[in-house]
Amino acid sequence: MEELRETYITPVVPLDFTYNYRVGQYMERFLNSLKDKKLMGVKCPECGKVFVPPRMFCGSCNQKLDEWVEVAQTGMLANFTVGHVVLEKGARLAKAESPYVLGLIKLDDVDSLLLARVEKVAPADLKKGMRMKAVWKEELAGDYSDLDHFEPA
Amino acid sequence: MRNVGIIGVGYTPVFVSKRRDVNIAEMISEAVDAAFRNTGLGPEDIDAMVFGNMQTFEGLNLPHLWASEHIRALGKPIMRIATGGTTGMSALHAGYYHVASGLHDVVMVITYEKQSEGDSQVGLAGIITPEIMTMLSLGIDLTGGTGMGGLGGGSAGGVSFQANSYLNRSGATIEHIDKMAALERRNAALNPYAHLKDPDATPEKIAQTPLIAYPIRFGHVCPTTDGATVAILACEKKAAKLADKVAWINGLANCASDATTGNLIEGLITDPGEQRPCMIAAKKAYEMAGIEDPQKEIDMAEIYNGFAHQCLMFMDRLFLCGEREAHVLLDKGELEITGRIPVNPSGGVVSTNAIGTSALNRVTECALQIMDKIEGGHKVQKDVHNAVAHGWGGLMQYVTVTVLGDKPRKR
Amino acid sequence: MENKVAIVGVNLDSALDIEKSRERLIFDLVRGLMDDLGIEPTDVDTTIFATNDFLVGRTISNVFEDSPAGVYMRDESKVEMDATNAVMYGTMRILSGNYQTALIVSQGLCGHQVSPYLHISYSLNPIYDRQLGLLNELSAAAFQARDFLTKYGFGDDLMHAIAANSLANAALNPRQARQLPDISPQQVSESPYYYEPLRELHCYPPTDGGCAILLASAERAKELTDKPVWILGLGSSMDTYYIVERDLTVAPSATKAAKRAYEMAGISDPAREICFAEIAALFAHQEPILAEALGLMEASDAAEKYQSGETAIDGKLPINPSGGALGGHPIPATGGFRVAEATLQLRGEAGKNQVKDPKRAVVLGQDGICAQQNSVLVLGI
Ligand SMILES: [Zn+2]
């Protein structure tokens, strides 16, 4: 007898999932400050670390964070990668149109790193420890895309 | 087997339809804080954690990962449990086994749902996404009169079959459902952690709400709620050290029947009100707890009822009354907070439904009654020695039962 | 933990694109396991699923898995994490004395139907990382890889060697999905970049698969098998979500999990007492990081260990003799695969992948971005 091959169908899901994520008061203040080209963080009263973007808790100290600080927009490149792929809708892996650079920026006086796109530097010239500065969009919308990228300072 | 007790409970300050002021992780942290405040414990006292919610509602996969800091879970073992409507109680059971196994002494169980951030009906329809897809691809119209769209898990369409079946078998009427819903809305008005409250609810008022699918009226249906609940469990030795009062988990069980599509349709056509898994689980849990006659020995019940008729339906499935008796007890006033067998003094799921918490709240509400730590006016009048908590979910085919007592079982 | 809970049977199946529905896969796995052991669903006291609703594409995915797994009017629950955690939950249930047997069932069809990257993408902070769209599992792993290589002054060739070790083992193993016979470090180095320095063959492949594992109490195990594999220790732990605050070159939560598991198992010198390791390292560089956390090697010695063949099947301390997660990653069954492969090894049934006379093994499963959460089991005969 012929071996059974199980058939499957792949219809397009007609359901549209809509989510409304409340950002909470910490992220709201961060977003609002983007409109003024400011980067805001919170400082832990116990370990003194400054976190950007801000959040409610320092996990290792079990402390609620409420001391706000405006942080510098310059720092150094702590880590980088050159992306050759992107995740498209449905997290499908696809080839990027052209390679692009992502960096983890260690802002001066901040203890967490900030993940951002890095521009105006050739991949071959990327070096850990390079000085970087924030570059803003010309027209600010009060969302995360306001802080456009980092580039060598 | 080690005895395991609940030594503390924490709720978010409110259970409401929209928590606009906090994000998901922040909201959960409020319940964690409350549990610490109520017990005087801190993160260092917690050996392990169990975390549960229904992730497709918020579209957030494994939310305990992102919330790691907010729930004070760094460096701790944490297990994520998700079984749909019963998630809260399944998580509690996992917490129980963390302790009963002897591997951990003090365990925190955390559940939440922030339903305002997602689409609950889409979330529920997601139970049968592949079936819906198949039907659509075969050209079956889900919007028209075929009724197929009503198959979704907890949706009113599917449940109306069940309610009709129950009314038919029990002799209860739609007016009894109105009455049950009114009772629960009134109870909810006494509970600071309930969502839909109406101190003046009457069966007549409920009867005026629009009919969704006979016999389900708008007034019979649970709301969608934002909220989080935390319970702290401990072994006997630790409980003696850490708590003045303990509600012991003396019996627990769960049972699933079949949910594949063919049988589902068969089930809906035959008897979705049968709920055999509930009877199997209840028997097992009572036996474990040493309860021989639940009608005599159980002092109160918290029953999972996304829809008001389910409270009556599950009463007999939990052996709290005879098969055609629940509505008679309701008529006699015995299910009231002041009655002989108070049911859902908290207001039930019909009044508050942050899904991940709903089945756990059934347990924590029983526990608080036993520990005499109820905040608000919904403390039942009689002493509570033994209580039963019930969770229902899956695709209308999965049940969890927990029997709690003011004394641990003797071994 | 002396001989209290045993693994008495395992069954597993995977492919890059399996020609089965989830339900059929589960039925075949469970029925096959039961036939091996000569038991029926009524012999199973409880079933613990490890599945993920996102990847299955349905809410409460366990309800449709009940029947094919033999759960009808019976007891079950679901752990929505890597399957090692379901094995732990089953173990707890048996240790409580309430159950004598526990069936663990896990599956994930991320090879063809669903993108495996969906898993982590949807677990990211929804109010920042997900909106920013820069962070994903692969870009995070690339940062981790670069930090690791820089810290010890290693070159990319170490990543190629680690991957080749796993992929060569996987090619010997018919239970693995990714089959690349005659793979060499050279070939790995020629695979395309995802995020530098991470290349395709440094990463797990999108995989379909599932596993079924039966646990039993000591008493019941004697009746079911003459080759029980004992769960000697277990532990799990969690790090912070924020990879921008973690030192990605170490895995403290894996260290904590291992410490607890080793203590239970009475192991004080894992590098000497453990015969081999099955580690769910999703990317080549994670293997030495996690092996170090498990106390099996110093990550700074990684180049020497991998180039000298010490980690190979016939080496002094074989790591992922099955081929590991680079051979297949059917989320969230991957940790279950590691448990099942370790069980086969300890029973001497691992075929071409067989390590010589192993007595004790350590298994690691992970969840979250850059192995945020880790679970460790120590198994032995
Ligand atoms: Zn701190």
As a whole number, mean pLDDT of residues B47-56 equals: 94
User: Which has the minimum average pLDDT: A12-26, B87-101, B375-389, C43-57?
Assistant: A12-26
Q: Could A13 and B133 be called an inter-chain contact, meaning their C-beta atoms sit closer than 8 Å?
A: yes
d(CA B353, CA B304) in angstroms, rounded, equals 10
Residue C38 is given by DSSP the state T
- With a cut of 80, say whether residue C36 has pLDDT above it: yes
Q: In whole numbers, what is the pLDDT of chain C averaged over residues? A: 96
**What are the structural domains, with CATH classification, of chain B?**
4-118+222-405 (3.40.47.10)
d(CA B77, CA C85) in angstroms, rounded, equals 10
Question: Each residue's pLDDT tens digit in chain A (153 positions)?
Answer: 566 666 666 555 555 667 889 999 999 999 999 999 999 999 999 999 999 999 999 988 999 999 999 999 999 999 999 999 999 988 899 999 999 999 999 999 999 999 999 999 999 999 999 999 999 999 998 899 999 999 999
pLDDT more than 70, % of chain C:
100
- Tokens 């629009």, residue located: B210
- With a cut of 90, say whether residue B270 has pLDDT above it: no
Looking at residue B269, its pLDDT comes to 47
User: Is C209 strand, coil or helix?
Assistant: strand
**What is the B34 CA–ligand 1 centroid distance (Å)?**
21
User: Which has the minimum average pLDDT: B367-371, B400-404, C61-65?
Assistant: C61-65
What is the secondary structure of A29-97 as a DSSP string?
HHHHHHTTT--EEEE-TTT--EESS--SEETTTTEE--EEEE--SEEEEEEEEEEEEEE-GGG-EEEEE
Residues on chain C bordering chain A, Cβ-to-Cβ distance under 8 angstroms: 19-21, 24, 113-118, 121-122, 126-129, 131-132, 134-136, 138-139, 142-143, 146-147, 150, 192-198, 240, 242, 244-245
Residues of B whose CB is below 8 A from A16: 122
User: Is C195 strand, coil or helix?
Assistant: strand
**What is the C82 CA–ligand 1 centroid distance (Å)?**
30
Give how far Cα C141 sits from Cα of A150, B234, C262, Å.
Answer: 21, 39, 28
Subunits with 3+ C-beta pairs closer than 8 A to A: B, C
Domain borders along chain C are 5-115+206-224
Mutation target vs C (from B58, B69, B83, B249; most C CBs, 10 A cutoff): B83
d(CA C25, CA C210) in angstroms, rounded, equals 7
Looking at residue B150, its pLDDT comes to 42
Residues of A whose CB is below 8 A from C13: none
Q: Could A84 and C142 be called an inter-chain contact, meaning their C-beta atoms sit closer than 8 Å?
A: no
Burial class (CB in 10 A: 0-12, 13-18, 19+), C307: middle
Q: Which of C20, C131, C244 sits opposite A112 (nearest CB)?
A: C244
Q: What's the whole-model pTM score?
A: 0.96
Looking at residue B244, its pLDDT comes to 96
C96 touching B (Cβ < 8 Å) = yes
d(CA C187, CA A144) in angstroms, rounded, equals 40
Both tokens of A89, joined, read 């809708």
Confidence band for C114, pLDDT divided at 50, 70 and 90:
confident
Cα B65–chain centre separation: 24
Q: Could B258 and C72 be called an inter-chain contact, meaning their C-beta atoms sit closer than 8 Å?
A: yes
Looking at residue C62, its pLDDT comes to 85
pLDDT in tens, B101-146: 999 999 999 999 999 998 665 566 666 666 665 555 555 544 433 3
- With a cut of 50, say whether residue B198 has pLDDT above it: yes
Looking at residue A16, its pLDDT comes to 61
**What is the C237 CA–ligand 1 centroid distance (Å)?**
20
pLDDT in tens, B380-397: 999 999 999 999 988 778
Mutation target vs B (from C21, C75, C77; most B CBs, 10 A cutoff): C77
Subunits with 3+ C-beta pairs closer than 8 A to C: A, B
C64 touching B (Cβ < 8 Å) = yes
Looking at residue B144, its pLDDT comes to 37
Looking at residue B143, its pLDDT comes to 46
Domain borders along chain A are 24-152
Q: Could C21 and A8 be called an inter-chain contact, meaning their C-beta atoms sit closer than 8 Å?
A: yes
**What is the B274 CA–ligand 1 centroid distance (Å)?**
54
Q: Could A15 and B126 be called an inter-chain contact, meaning their C-beta atoms sit closer than 8 Å?
A: yes
Looking at residue A8, its pLDDT comes to 60
Structurally, what CATH architecture does the domain formed by C5-115+206-224 represent?
Answer: 3-Layer(aba) Sandwich (3.40)
Total Cβ atoms within 10 A of residue B42: 10
A65 touching B (Cβ < 8 Å) = no
pLDDT in tens, C227-261: 999 999 999 999 999 999 999 999 999 999 999 99
Looking at residue B257, its pLDDT comes to 86
Looking at residue C148, its pLDDT comes to 98
d(CA C96, CA B3) in angstroms, rounded, equals 10
pLDDT in tens, B204-262: 999 999 888 889 999 999 999 999 999 999 999 999 999 999 999 999 999 998 765 44
Q: Could B80 and C91 be called an inter-chain contact, meaning their C-beta atoms sit closer than 8 Å?
A: no
Beta-carbon contacts below 8 Å between B and C: 195
As a whole number, mean pLDDT of residues B391-410 equals: 91
Contact B112, B355 (CB under 8 A): no
pLDDT more than 70, % of chain B:
87
Looking at residue B130, its pLDDT comes to 60
Helix pair angle (B309-317, B174-190), 10° resolution: 100
pLDDT in tens, C324-366: 999 999 999 999 999 999 999 999 999 999 999 999 999 999 9
**What is the A64 CA–ligand 1 centroid distance (Å)?**
9
Model ipTM value: 0.97
Q: Closest approach of chain A CAs to the CA of B326, in angstroms?
A: 40
As a whole number, mean pLDDT of residues C99-103 equals: 98
Looking at residue B272, its pLDDT comes to 77
